[in-house]
């Protein structure tokens, strides 16, 4: 009788192993229950009154069944993030502009934003509020634009700290995104003082801006400075406000 039980136990274990192996993702609890049932049946085979063997076999079957499934269960597969070569947050599979520069704001297609629709992406646009339909240059500007806030210490060509803070990102944008664009830096003064003095001051101030941008990484061959003195006024020199507007530095595409 013991031989028969042993044979039955072996056949039951084989059936359990085959059953667990055939299930791609088997739950270990179900295997344990199946093992208990098969083990109990094997333990009681041939002797309806041998309850102790049946119980012990059921316990053994449960342990074996659970262990087999635990060992044979598939390892959870790691989640692989979709490839995003330009790190703009849009997966390559749907990215219509896969070479967007780092840090550029993009739309849901992965293309750089152009808020004013002038054809120049925001990350390159030095005049981000151009009027709709305006013809702009490579900088996104209609004409030369005034570098607002780029001021100098009184009667000198020394840039203020505030002016340097304004020029730094402009220089960065130029040597990062506009390396093929030549720029003209123009200095202007008001009409106070001698004309010759104002001419010289405007030239030195424009040159100071170019020098600072070169220090920030711009190519000297792409920057030209020029001074216009008190000529080309854009406001009334008879008023304090007008003179303040005339004391300016402009940036344009050469």
- 80-113 per-position pLDDT tens digit: 888 888 888 899 888 899 888 888 899 989 999 9
DSSP string, 170-202: HHHHHHHH-TT--EEEEEE--S-S-HHHHHHHH
Greatest pairwise CA separation for the chain in angstroms: 126
Q: Where does the chain hold its CATH 3.30.1330.60 domain(s)?
A: 144-253
Asked if the model's pLDDT at residue 199 lies above 60, the reply is: yes
pLDDT at site 46: 46
* Arithmetic mean of pLDDT over the chain: 79
- The tokens of 138 are what? 């490579």
Q: Is the dihedral of CA 98, 104, 107, 113 positive or negative?
A: negative
pLDDT value for 125 = 87
Q: Model confidence over 160-176: pLDDT tens digits?
A: 999 999 999 999 999 99
Mean pLDDT on 199-213: 98
Residue 106 is encoded by which pair of tokens?
A: 């993009």
- DSSP secondary structure string for all residues of 77-123: PPPPPPP-TT-SSS-GGG-SSTTPPTT--B-TTSPBP-TT-SSS-TT
162: its two tokens: 């505030």
Q: Which two tokens stand for residue 129?
A: 């509020």
**pLDDT value for 202:** 97
How many CA atoms lie within 13 Å of 201's alpha carbon, on the beta-carbon side?
Answer: 24
Assigned CATH class of 144-253: alpha beta
- Structure confidence at residue 17 as a pLDDT band (50, 70, 90): very low
Please tell me which residue, 63 or 166, carries the higher pLDDT value.
Answer: 166
Per-residue pLDDT at 23: 46
Over residues 50-71, mean pLDDT: 54
What's phi and psi for 41, nearest 5 deg?
Answer: -65, -40
pLDDT of residue 209: 98
| The pLDDT of residue 236 is above 90 | yes
Rounded Cα distance, 103 and 87, in Å: 8
């Amino acid at each position: 009788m013991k031989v028969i039980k042993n044979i039955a136990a072996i056949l039951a274990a084989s059936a359990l192993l085959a059953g667990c192996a055939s299930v791609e993702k088997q739950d270990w609890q179900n295997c344990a229950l199946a093992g208990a049932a098969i083990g109990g049946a094997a333990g009681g085979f041939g002797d309806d009154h041998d309850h102790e063997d049946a119980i012990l076999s059921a316990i053994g079957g449960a342990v074996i069944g659970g262990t087999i499934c635990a060992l044979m269960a598939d390892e959870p597969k790691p989640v692989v993030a979709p490839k995003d070569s330009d790190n703009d947050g849009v997966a390559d599979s749907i990215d219509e502009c896969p070479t967007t520069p780092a840090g550029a704001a993009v739309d849901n297609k992965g293309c750089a934003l152009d808020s004013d629709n002038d054809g120049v992406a925001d990350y390159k646009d030095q005049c981000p509020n151009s009027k709709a339909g305006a013809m702009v240059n490579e900088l996104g500007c209609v004409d030369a634009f005034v570098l607002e806030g780029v001021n100098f210490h009184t009667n000198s060509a020394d840039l203020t700290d505030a002016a340097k803070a304004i020029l730094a990102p402009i220089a960065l944008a130029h040597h990062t995104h506009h390396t093929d664009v030549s720029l003209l830096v123009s200095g202007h003064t008001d009409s106070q003082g001698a004309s010759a003095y104002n001419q010289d001051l405007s030239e030195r101030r424009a040159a100071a801006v170019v020098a600072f941008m070169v220090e920030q990484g711009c190519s000297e061959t792409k920057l030209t400075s020029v001074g216009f003195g008190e000529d080309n006024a854009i406001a009334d020199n008879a008023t304090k406000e007008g003179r303040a507007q005339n004391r300016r530095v402009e940036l344009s595409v050469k």
